[in-house]
Amino acid sequence: MIDFRKLRPALALALALGFGAVHAAAAQGQAGQPWMDRSRPSGERAALALAAMTQAEKLSLVFGFASGDQLGQISDSVINAEARRKALASVVPGSAGWIPGVPRLGIPDQFQTDASLGVRNPRMDGHTALPSSLATAASFDPKLTFAGGAMIGREARLSGFNIMLAGGVNLVREPRNGRNFEYAGEDPLLAASVSAGLVNGIQSNGIVSTMKHFAINSQETGRTVLSAQIAEGAARDSDYLAFELVQDWARPGSVMCSYNRINDVYACENDRLLNQALKQDWGFKGYVMSDWGAVHSTVQAANAGLDQQSGFPFDKQAYFGTLLERAVEDGSVPQARLDDMVRRILWALLDKGAVDNPVAKGTIDWDAHARVTLKAAQDSMVLLKNTENLLPLRGARSIALIGGHADRGVLAGGGSSLVMPRGGNAVPGLKPEHWPGPVVYYPSSPLKALQSALPRARVAYDPGTDPVAAAALAAKCDVAIVFVTQWTGEAFDVSLALEGQQDALVEAVARANPRTLVVVESGGAILMPWLPRVGAVLQAWYPGTQGGQAIADILTGAVNPSGRLPITFPASMEQLVRPRLDGVGLKDGEGFTVRYTEGAAVGYKWYDQKGLTPLFPFGYGLSYSRFTSGKLRIEDRPAGLTATVQARNTGARKGATVVQLYASAKAGGWEAPKRLVAFQKVWLEPGESRDVTLTIDPRLLSVWDPSTGRRRVTEGDYLFSLGDSAQSLTETVSHPLADRKL
């Protein structure tokens, strides 16, 4: 079975693009251009190309332009007229950015596009949007995220882009973070597994993917001025661990350093973060690009490990323009450092295939891509409640569909990851219409999908703006389905309480009809005060450009729900680490510190440590089938520590369960009582049972030791438990581990 997390991009490239034999001429490289010889290792090719470059060419590779109209406003002191003309002629309008290549050496321009959910370009015709990354994390399926990445990376390549600014893997440390929908949950193993799948999928198209935002970019309030205060060891065993594992399992060509400071030093000029952790400890060979406007110096940033300034003029100065040229001339930035920056960029372009297979516009198979995002949405939705088996809808003759613009489409998140859909915004004119808006609904109507799936039922829609009218319709129907929405996005944080009168709407409808269910289209966790009074809840997240169809498929039972929560849903705001969000109410630009006193105890680890019971726990999700898992065996094998589990489908229809393995250190010493150390999604026919073997990565059993700068597994007894969620452990065995430095 191919473990897509570990698939090297070159192999994935061959698999995904079905390359035939490499032409002999290309294998030898054009005469005089040995770096074009594909048979040489990428590092060697990069060094050869570097050696052929002039200083001016090197400097042009480390300085990126944004695509906006600001290009024309850049002063001549920053770029000369020739470079400006080339930039204005080359950058793709509406795209994220552009960096000139070196045509005489066969090095392509870098055409950058956002982001993790698909090609974002408000100036182009629409593209296919995946469900949010938090949604596909809920699939617990790296093969699914590989397929999604392969699809959006193909759309990027065929739209002319060779750098995809994707791979958001910041842990969901703050449930109110407006960008949680772009990330992959609260647990390092899950976040890294699904993000590695996405990055490998994108890079299988012969283009470069990033992973981002490195690091501890955990809230949007004050993101460019806040300092994330956290002990190095705690960061290494939580947020940094997710990045470390993605780097190991997917080898992204680039890492995007984040806006914020970490322990008072900006991420993009943070030596400990970039040079020590990423490059020295994890062996990262690619290049660090800044976030757009995240650079604050020339010498400190260059010497701390930043390799490319992105998106000028988002920054206050062209730090990597003439200022860098002078810094290299006066020696404050060694020539060797500039050479290393360029070599890293060249390595990424060569290793991922962007040099050997230059991108070009091409025809996109929209139907095939629609099938990919539909499958992703179907397998990411989480059935949170289903009393009296209200779902799947069977025999209902009349159904009231209420609210959430469910007659026209499904919600998407705002900001730089927003993909504009083919067919346009299904609900135009919602506020804010400008950044971080527009508020977009993808034209995939749950109402239309349900009506075509249930031709004998009368499915009526009510906008939900008047709870009395909505309740009146619900009272006349067999079943009432209320759609609630929470718009979140980049550059702002949100409350967990639903906006407007949505809670009151649910209460009114539930009073009118006991067979009421709720579909949630949200960026992350929300509070559900009405939960005891509704019969079922489906967490649909932001479900992408086929989301309406996927919702109908789950509600009608055409698809068996198989998602599990990648984040904890709090029962109340009091359960949060920080009931009050730091930085709220401060003047723009006023710096502040967020003290992450929970350390590595993020999400369910915090709830375990404090003995709290959430509304819904990490790893939780229902199915239309029932499963058992047992006979847990832990064995030391040559391949490493493995767990064997028998999973069984005791229900009457095919479905998927997620085998979750948690571990605890009996002697303590970890950040929290337990950690997820392995998982696997398993599809089983009715009555089928299967032995599942999980390999446990030793890094997940280790603690990073600040005194040695290495990971260590401490000798002793450890408990390994199967779980249906972080709050429901079903079987536990003890197993000793020897002392081990990693």
How far apart are CB 581 and ligand GLC at their closest, in Å?
19
- For 50, the enclosing helix (H) or strand (E) is helix 42-51
Question: Contact between 184 and ligand GLC (CB under 6 A)?
Answer: no
Query: How far is CA 22 from each of CA 26, 37, 106, 198, 360, rounded to the nearest angstrom?
Result: 7, 11, 18, 26, 19
Question: Cβ 668 to ligand GLC, closest distance in Å?
Answer: 38
User: How near is the Cβ of 462 to ligand GLC at its closest, in Å?
Assistant: 37
Whichever of 126 and 655 has its CB closer to ligand GLC, that residue is 126
* Min dist. Cβ of residue 121 to ligand GLC (A): 11
Residue 217 to residues 118, 248, 422, Cα–Cα distance (Å): 21, 21, 31
Measured distance CA(613)–CA(605) in Å, rounded = 12
Place of tokens 């001429």: 25
Cα–chain center distance at 405? 26
Whichever of 121 and 649 has its CB closer to ligand GLC, that residue is 121
291 binds ligand GLC (CB under 6 A): yes
C-alpha distances (whole Å) from 267 to each of 157, 184, 237, 683 are 30, 21, 18, 41
- Separation between Cα atoms, residue 165 and residue 45, nearest integer Å: 24
Q: Which of residues 371-390 bind ligand GLC (CB under 6 A)?
A: none
Asked if 200 interacts with ligand GLC (CB under 6 A), we say no
Shortest Cβ 96–ligand GLC spacing (Å): 4
Report whether 5 contacts 197 (CB < 8 A): yes
**Per rule CB under 6 A, is residue 325 in the interface with ligand GLC?**
no
Contacts of 554 (CB under 8 A, 6+ apart): 378, 381, 383, 391, 392, 538, 561
The DSSP annotation for 465-526 comes to: SSHHHHHHHHHTSSEEEEEEE---BTT----SSPSTTHHHHHHHHHHH-SSEEEEEE-SS--
User: Which lies closer to ligand GLC via its Cβ, residue 96 or residue 302?
Assistant: 96
Q: At its nearest, how many Å lie between ligand GLC and the CB of residue 182?
A: 7
Binding mask of the shown chain, residues 64 to 103, with x at each position contacting ligand GLC by CB under 6 A:
--------------------------------x-------
Measured from the CB atom, the residue of 224 and 425 that comes closer to ligand GLC is 224
Asked if 115 interacts with ligand GLC (CB under 6 A), we say: yes
C-beta of 412 vs 700, nearer to ligand GLC? 412
Check binding of 627 to ligand GLC (CB under 6 A).
no
Separation of alpha carbons 370 and 128, rounded Å: 7
Q: How far is the CB of 181 from ligand GLC (least distance, A)?
A: 12
Report 636-695 residues binding ligand GLC (CB under 6 A). Answer: none
Least distance (Å) from ligand GLC to the CB of residue 291?
5
CB of 92 vs ligand GLC, minimal distance in Å: 13
Q: Which of 5, 212, 352, 385 binds ligand GLC (CB under 6 A)?
A: 212
If binding means CB under 6 A, how many residues of this protein chain bind ligand GLC?
8
| 416 vs 714 by CB, closer to ligand GLC | 416
Q: Which is nearer to ligand GLC, 267 or 364 (CB)?
A: 267
**Crossing angle of the two packed helices 366-378 and 547-556, in degrees rounded to 10:** 50
Residue closer to ligand GLC, measured from CB, 291 or 507: 291
Helix axes 335-352, 9-17, angle to 10 degrees: 30
Closest to ligand GLC by CB, 96 or 536: 96
Tokens representing 2?
Answer: 């191919």
Closest to 378 measured CA to CA, from 540, 525, 564, 519: 540
Shortest Cβ distance from residue 14 to ligand GLC (Å)?
Answer: 28
Residues 138-167 that bind ligand GLC (CB under 6 A): 165
Supply 480's token pair. Answer: 């009432």
- Compose the 26-65 pattern: x for residues touching ligand GLC by CB under 6 A, - for all others: ----------------------------------------
Amino acid at 244: E
The residue among 295 and 484 lying less far from ligand GLC, judged by its C-beta, is 295
Cis peptide before 617 (omega within 30 of 0): no
User: Which string of DSSP letters, residue by residue, matches 669-682?
Assistant: -SSSS-EEEEEEEE
Distance CA 373, CA 549 (A): 11
CB of 491 to ligand GLC, least distance (A): 8
Q: Which of 57, 109, 114, 269 binds ligand GLC (CB under 6 A)?
A: 114
Q: With respect to ligand GLC, which residue has the nearer C-beta, 292 or 679?
A: 292
| C-beta closer to ligand GLC: residue 212 or 605 | 212
Closer residue to ligand GLC, CB minimum distance, 159 or 386? 159
Which two tokens mark 454? 């249930």
CB of 109 to ligand GLC, least distance (A): 17
What distance in Å separates the CA atoms of residue 556 and residue 544, rounded to the nearest whole number? 19
- Kindly state whether residue 250 participates in binding ligand GLC, applying the rule CB under 6 A: no
Structure tokens at 74: 């850049």
SS3 of 351-403: HHCCCCCCCCCCCCCHHHHHHHHHHHHHCCCEEEEEHHHCCCCCCCCEEEEEC
Between residues 58 and 176, which has the closer beta carbon with respect to ligand GLC? 176
Integer Cα distance of 171 and 701 in angstroms: 19
Q: Give the C-alpha separation, 39 to 35, whole Å.
A: 10
416 binds ligand GLC (CB under 6 A): yes
**CB of 124: closest distance to ligand GLC in angstroms?**
15
| Binder of ligand GLC out of 4, 292, 620, 704 (CB under 6 A) | 292
The residue (of 352 and 375) whose beta carbon lies closer to ligand GLC is 352
Shortest Cβ 428–ligand GLC spacing (Å): 23
Task: Report in angstroms how near the CB of residue 313 gets to ligand GLC at its nearest.
Answer: 13
Residues of this chain that interact with ligand GLC (CB under 6 A) are 96, 114-115, 165, 212, 291-292, 416
